[in-house]
């Protein structure tokens, strides 16, 4: 079965600093990859999804970006973090986009 590695587990960054969260997947090839954010008191929000290398779709306009340099690697980035970027970020994948999602353990990002 698929395993998702996501790091770091927690991150504290100052406003205006860059961000790079990495997610790698094992146990499958050519997965669909997703980045979700859970802000405090809110549900899960889909940020980006990717169906293949270099193919990124954005669901919500923001100062975040995503890249997929390799088949099983998905990176979430920002050039300058905002306070509103604080939240819990989850990487997820599945082999078929209609199938259940497998989630990573998440990154708790605090922007101060």
Partner 1 sequence: AQKVTQAQTEISVVEKEDVTLDCVYETRDTTYYLFWYKQPPSGELVFLIRRNSFDEQNEISGRYSWNFQKSTSSFNFTITASQVVDSAVYFCALAHVNSGGGADGLTFGKGTHLIIQP
Dihedral sign for Cα 52, 55, 61, 66, please: positive
Stretch that binds partner 1, among 16-24, 63-71, 75-83, 99-107 (CB under 8 A): 99-107
Q: Which of 57, 70, 84, 110 binds partner 1 (CB under 8 A)?
A: 57
Calpha distance 39→43 (Å, rounded) = 7
* Token pair recorded at residue 11: 């991150």
Of 19-27, 41-49, 61-69, 72-80, the segment contacting partner 1 by CB under 8 A is: 41-49
12/15 with CB nearer partner 1 = 12
Tokens of 91: 């990487």
Instruction: Rule CB under 8 A: say whether 61 interacts with partner 1.
Output: no
């Amino acid at each position: 079965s698929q395993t998702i590695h996501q790091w770091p587990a927690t991150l504290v960054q100052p406003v205006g600093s860059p961000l790079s969260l990495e997610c790698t997947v094992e146990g499958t090839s050519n997965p669909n990859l997703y980045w979700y954010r859970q802000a405090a008191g809110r549900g899960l929000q889909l940020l980006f999804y990717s169906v293949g290398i270099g193919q990124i779709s954005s669901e919500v306009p923001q100062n975040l970006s995503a890249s997929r340099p390799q088949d099983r690697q998905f990176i979430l980035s920002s050039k300058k973090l905002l306070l509103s970027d604080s939240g819990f970020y989850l990487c997820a994948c599945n082999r078929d986009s209609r199938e259940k999602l497998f989630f990573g353990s998440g990154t708790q990002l605090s922007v101060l």
